[in-house]
Amino acid sequence: MNGNGEGGEESLRMKMEEGERDRLVYMWGYLPGALPQRSPLLSPVVVRLPQSVAAGTCWQDVCGGGCGFAMAISDSGKLITWGSTDDLGQSYVTSGKHGEMPEPFPLPNEVSIIRAAAGWAHCVAVTESGEVYTWGWKECVPSGKVFGDPSPGIGIEKDVTDRQSSFSLDQVSPHSQGSRSGGGAIANVDTKGGGEETAKRRRISSAKQTADSTSSGDETLSALPCLVTLNPGVRIAAVAAGGRHTLALSDTGQVWGWGYGGEGQLGLGSRIRMVSSPHPVPCIESTSLGKDRAMALSRGNMASEGHSFRIPGSYVKGIACGGRHSAVITDGGALLTFGWGLYGQCGQGSTDDELSPTCVSSLLGITIEGVAAGLWHTVCISADGDVYTFGGNQFGQLGTGSDQAETLPRLLEAPSLENVHAKIVSCGARHSAIVTEEGKVFCWGWNKYGQLGLGDVIDRNIPSQVAIEGCVPKNVACGWWHTLLLAETESPT
């Protein structure tokens, strides 16, 4: 019962022999428009490239997706989206209104996409030339130029600086409403504890009414792709999207952020409710240990270093966004976190919010290579292939064997991970996934919609292997309720 969609795989193998199509994309979980009956996909199923993409192309990468849709990239640089339905509102628009059949998202024709990410209802993509496009919720789209697409191949630019003027650096008090709100649902398909999301929607609705007081409701849901305005010479190499905020990493290791920052998830040192243009996030320079960090370390095992200790690294090489928190990795292998901390998702041993990038001191001495963030949790992997998790654990998303939250990173020592080395990590809203050097895929956490790919809807609180045969996994990317896998077909023996 591996559900690998062997018919589709065989078809793609034949095409591979003709056009060297050796990459497959698998999906599983809840993608409302992926099948006519809207049934969850409990096991991996092969996704075919659309006919609308030029012949001879193949899959290049997977990018997860937000609420109810999926994203991947073709080797011709097209962003492919699918899985949305019109009754999902903003997500239907954000995904390009693409349902059952994967289709290229309507970006300008000359644009070649190499990276992309999706938050709750906004997307961000990086071009081959280092430019950034973003679209979705207007509060997540900074000032810049948007591109309408009234007919294929025709782009109309509109300056939207004025539209966003009401979002400029709106400061709120340190005890802003919602920074300690309780856990709840993230979407209307989840029936457990909707208090937090209901409150969040009220706040979002209020913000939209303020920003769009002269706009129609339909316009609120139809923010078009925007070319983000960055400083001259800045080339972006990677992007990450959270619930309502975005981070971008330049090719020189500088982090930029914009969107909602009320819990500190933009790392700017205060509770900035809305940042309407990209601002540099002071990661390396802010993490030399001053008065607060020296005191914090004095409670740990590095008291002798005191205030003179400096965080390893000189630039940032990795970024991740969770629901309302963020994480970055330096070139020295240090992990820094900032944002909402109610469930311990910042890994600082407390439930406090972190308003500036703060080193996870308990991991110092361990070289961190990868990090991913979910709604309330964080997962990172070390250069040795070990997995560390912390934060909320209501559905077993930490993989520790219990539902106990962790405010400090905890090493996963599950028998299933013995003698395997994690190399890629991704998080959905409340589930986690890794790909190992040995070519195995493991998932754990919330499984109400089959997002673990294990053939059932039973949550798992320990890493569980997903059955993928006849191919070699290369990358994994989780959406809110689904998972995508990029794999290469095995060479014939």
| Tens-level pLDDT at each residue, the chain (493 residues) | 223 333 333 433 333 344 344 899 999 999 988 776 778 999 999 999 988 887 888 999 999 998 889 999 999 999 999 999 888 778 888 999 898 899 999 999 899 999 999 999 899 999 999 999 999 988 899 876 767 643 333 233 343 333 333 223 333 222 333 333 222 222 223 333 333 433 333 333 333 333 332 233 444 555 689 999 999 999 999 999 999 999 999 999 999 999 999 999 999 999 999 998 999 999 987 554 433 444 444 334 443 343 446 889 999 999 999 999 999 999 999 999 999 999 999 999 999 999 999 999 999 999 999 999 999 999 999 999 999 999 999 999 999 999 999 999 999 999 999 999 999 999 999 999 999 999 999 999 999 999 999 999 999 999 999 999 999 999 999 999 999 999 999 875 5
> How confident is the model at residue 88, as a pLDDT?
76
In the sheet that holds 422-427, the strands lie side by side as: 422-427, 431-436, 441-445, 460-466
Contacting residues for 111 by C-beta, under 8 A, at least 6 apart: 77, 127, 131, 133
Cα separation, 80 vs 96, whole angstroms: 9
Q: How far is CA 159 from CA 132, 153, 245, 355, in A?
A: 16, 20, 21, 32
- What domains can be seen in the chain, in order of their start residue? 6-489 (2.130.10.30)
Contact present, 349 and 362 (Cβ < 8 Å): yes
Find where tokens 């600086």 sit: 161
The closest of 378, 269, 249 to 319, measured between CA atoms, is 249
Cα separation, 95 vs 396, whole angstroms: 29
Cα separation, 293 vs 309, whole angstroms: 9
DSSP-derived secondary structure letter, 225 = P
Contacting residues for 32 by C-beta, under 8 A, at least 6 apart: 38, 68, 83, 84, 85, 88
The closest of 421, 390, 424 to 407, measured between CA atoms, is 390
> How confident is the model at residue 217, as a pLDDT?
41
Contacting residues for 209 by C-beta, under 8 A, at least 6 apart: none
Contact present, 132 and 107 (Cβ < 8 Å): no
Contacting residues for 453 by C-beta, under 8 A, at least 6 apart: 3, 28, 29, 42, 43, 44, 441, 443, 466, 483
Find where tokens 């270093």 sit: 305
Count, residues in the chain: 493
DSSP-derived secondary structure letter, 87 = G
Q: DSSP assignment of 132-199, as one string? A: EEEEESGGG--SEEEEEEEETTEEEEEE-TGGGGGGTT-B--TT-TTTTPPP--SSTT--S--HHHHH
> How confident is the model at residue 193, as a pLDDT?
34
Contact present, 122 and 241 (Cβ < 8 Å): yes
Token pair listed for 51: 């006919």
Tell me: the pLDDT tens digits for 189-207? 333 333 343 333 333 333 3
> How confident is the model at residue 224, as a pLDDT?
85
Specify burial of residue 119 (Cβ count, 10 A radius: 0-12, 13-18, 19+): buried
> How confident is the model at residue 291, as a pLDDT?
33
The closest of 476, 487, 481, 285 to 381, measured between CA atoms, is 476
Cα separation, 492 vs 181, whole angstroms: 54
Cα separation, 64 vs 117, whole angstroms: 7
Helical spans, DSSP H, in 346-445: none
Cα separation, 257 vs 280, whole angstroms: 6
DSSP-derived secondary structure letter, 76 = T
DSSP, collapsed to helix, strand or coil, labels residue 207 as helix
> How confident is the model at residue 380, as a pLDDT?
98
Token pair listed for 21: 């199509």
> How confident is the model at residue 164, as a pLDDT?
34
Token pair listed for 110: 């000359």
Cα separation, 378 vs 318, whole angstroms: 14
HSE-CB for 390 with a 13 A CA cutoff: 27
> How confident is the model at residue 221, as a pLDDT?
52
Cα separation, 10 vs 159, whole angstroms: 48
| Per-residue buried b or exposed e for 150-186, using 16+ beta carbons within 10 Å of the residue's own CB | eeeeebeeeebeebbeebeebebeeeeeebebebbbb
Contact present, 427 and 444 (Cβ < 8 Å): no
